[in-house]
């Protein structure tokens, strides 16, 4: 039998927020990555629906949620999440975040630790590592470069095929298309003033996070993604890091079974050691 998903919208102070919902039991909130929407989590949620009440919102400005003309920052997404949870009367939740969603989940737990039972972060953004600035500059160039340049490149694809360069050009064209479709993620990650982004990085705050954390990272992901997960692991007091050797990026879709199993096992482990976790939280 197909799992029955419920799609809903709720009016928040900044606009309508869309979410997918399935299952019953312990509430889990899934936050999608920078270049995705809540559909990224559908297969994982299906796997967990028998034991957990799963919610996956589209972040404000993404997917089917409203895209108001506001200045986007991580703090805004955190407050939208807080308003969403309050509206649904959800307390003592587990936050699961991929990429940008991991950054927002960790930021939320730092601000509202009493509401979060545990965190599972998949290739999280939100800390600065070597090589990252170069990557963001390349992406910013793809977003800001004149459209005419890409029209010319597209027209040259048949000629570039002769020289074996068409695949590289097609990759850049597709990446630009993705970035233009995800303008909110671009603003959050790199298209804001550098001091503003730096102020929301978590290096100097993670030691304050007493909640239990599991970090999942693909072993074949980019070097800077691996470095970010390792940084989280080093700075978080109660974190475990699990490397999935054969995986690259987008773990929620490329490693559905493993991710769902790790989520279920980690939540059960937290629930079975409730006294220990509370001791950590209030020590």
Asked, for residue 149, whether it belongs to a domain, the answer is yes
Phi, psi of 54 (to 5 degrees): -100, 130
Query: What is the extent of the structural domain holding 143?
Result: 132-186
Q: Using the Cα atoms of residue 35, residue 37, residue 39 and residue 42 in order, give the sign of their dihedral.
A: positive
The pair of structure tokens assigned to 120 is 């599972």
Residues 121 and 140 in one domain: no
Phi, psi of 61 (to 5 degrees): 90, 0
Residue 274: predicted pLDDT:
56
The pair of structure tokens assigned to 16 is 């309508």
The number of domains in the chain is 2
Residues 138 and 275 in one domain: no
Asked, for residue 193, whether it belongs to a domain, the answer is no
223-276 pLDDT, tens digit each? 999 999 999 999 998 899 999 999 999 999 999 999 999 999 999 999 988 534
The pair of structure tokens assigned to 169 is 């050009």
Tell me the CA distances in angstroms from 203 to 23, 194, 210, 258, 268, one per residue in order.
Answer: 35, 15, 15, 28, 29
Arithmetic mean of pLDDT over the chain: 92
Residue for token pair 């390792």: 230
111-132 pLDDT, tens digit each? 999 999 999 999 999 999 988 8
Asked, for residue 246, whether it belongs to a domain, the answer is yes
Partnered with residue 215 across adjacent β-strands are: 121, 241
Spatial separation of the C-alpha atoms in residues 278 and 276, rounded to whole Å = 5
Residue 278: predicted pLDDT:
44
Q: 66 and 60 in contact (C-beta within 8 Å)?
A: yes
18-53 pLDDT, tens digit each? 999 999 999 999 999 999 999 999 999 999 999 999
130-144 pLDDT, tens digit each? 888 888 899 899 999
The pair of structure tokens assigned to 121 is 């972060």
Residues 164 and 105 in one domain: no
- Residue 85, domain CATH: 3.40.50.1820
Phi, psi of 49 (to 5 degrees): -65, -25
Asked, for residue 92, whether it belongs to a domain, the answer is yes
């Amino acid at each position: 039998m197909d799992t029955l998903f419920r799609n809903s919208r709720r009016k928040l102070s900044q606009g309508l927020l869309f979410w997918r919902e399935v299952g019953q039991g312990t509430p889990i909130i899934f936050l999608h990555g920078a270049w995705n929407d809540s559909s990224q989590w559908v297969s994982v949620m299906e796997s967990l629906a028998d034991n957990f009440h799963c919610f996956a919102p589209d972040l404000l400005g993404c997917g089917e949620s409203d895209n108001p003309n506001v200045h986007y920052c991580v703090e805004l997404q955190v407050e939208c999440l807080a308003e969403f949870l309050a509206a649904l009367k959800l307390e003592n939740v587990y936050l699961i975040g991929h990429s940008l969603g991991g950054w927002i989940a960790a930021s939320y737990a730092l601000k509202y630790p009493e509401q979060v039972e545990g965190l599972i972060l998949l290739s999280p953004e939100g800390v600065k590592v070597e090589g990252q600035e170069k990557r963001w500059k390349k992406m910013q160039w793809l977003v800001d470069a004149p459209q005419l340049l890409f029209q010319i490149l597209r027209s040259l694809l048949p000629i570039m095929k002769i020289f074996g360069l068409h695949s590289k050009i097609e990759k850049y064209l597709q990446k630009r298309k993705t970035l233009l479709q995800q303008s909110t993620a671009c603003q959050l990650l790199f298209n804001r003033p550098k001091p503003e982004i730096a102020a929301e990085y978590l290096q100097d705050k993670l030691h304050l996070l007493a909640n239990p954390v599991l970090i999942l990272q693909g072993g074949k992901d980019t070097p800077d993604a691996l470095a970010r997960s390792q940084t989280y692991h080093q700075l978080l007091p109660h974190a475990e890091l699990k490397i999935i050797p054969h995986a690259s990026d987008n773990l929620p879709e490329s490693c559905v079974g493993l991710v769902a199993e790790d989520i279920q096992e980690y939540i059960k482990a937290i629930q079975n050691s409730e006294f220990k976790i509370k001791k950590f939280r209030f020590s």
